[in-house]
Structure 1
Amino acid sequence: CVVLGSAASLALYRYEFRGKKFLQALLFPPIAIPWLITGTAMLIFFFGVGIGRGLHAILLGHVALALPYVIVVVSARLQTFAPELEEAARSLGANQWQVTRRVTLPWIMPGVIAGGLFAFAVSFDQFVVSYFLATPGQTTLPVEIYAAIRKGFTPEINAVSTIIIVVSMALMLLT
């Protein structure tokens, strides 16, 4: 999701093509539409195209919901990029791969990391979508936590919650 979103951001930044504004406009509905509606729509869509429920549906659903966050964050970082840096690298003999690897990627890396953290947080928080798309044998951690809480609080739930809080705090302090 992070690699795909970063590559899409670079493509949207570097190239002009028909439908670019339309693609950019498509990034915002998954961010703005409530997850209950999104989960229901994904469930209907996946059954309509023959995917149904299960691990594939969960994976596609999480990618579809987290990808816009990565693209928006990396695109915001690219807006501060000076194209003259790439031109200078090319004038010194670097090919496009070297320019991307040694100039562009180091510049956008904070955006890529932030986009990855956003994608993780959004994906982890997608209880509704996971609940709709999961089968009984294939669930995500938030769905398992919800199922366990319905039965009553246990030491395991408290331990998992503590670990989640500690990891969240550590990630927050690192960024």
Structure 2
Amino acid sequence: MLRIFALAFAVLAALPALAAQSFSFASIDGGNLSLDDWKGRPVLVVNTASRCGFTPQYDGLQALYERYRDRGLVVLAVPSDDFRQELGNDAAVKDFCEVNFDLDMPMTTITHVKGPEAHPLYKWLATQGFTPGWNFNKALIGPDGTLVESWGSTTRPLSAPILTRIEALLD
């Protein structure tokens, strides 16, 4: 009986890791972005907005991506209008980010990140204790698919807390 409970516990403990990697998003460039494609790599997921006081953080996100992408880091920008600060459509967001920030990191289409219409990844993150309170909230998903840590809008992408956690997860 004890072995059955131990096995059941092991299976349940593995579920969060499987859940994070099973999600996909529509890409702002067309096609899909699947977290499963990045299995074994850390992924920093950031809900973004083009008309927010934190929008200049795109520069830091791009710099972070450039610094660590060859070592495995993925930075995923998730534009959202849940806080009413995103442009009206995907084409406008894509153009804004290319012109103003020269972004080449993966980016989703405009996506809900909170409430009943939240994307399934964000619903899963909520079960892990993370729900964005504003734009540019950051969730670091480890190579095993678990939520490693999350940060609010005021934590800059190149801050010591984020760099330390990412570097510990890289090859």
Q: Same fold (TM over 0.5)?
A: no
TM-score, L = length of structure 1 = 0.21
* Structure showing the higher helix proportion among its residues: 1
TM-score, L = length of structure 2 = 0.21
Q: Compare CA radii of gyration and give the structure with the larger one.
A: 1
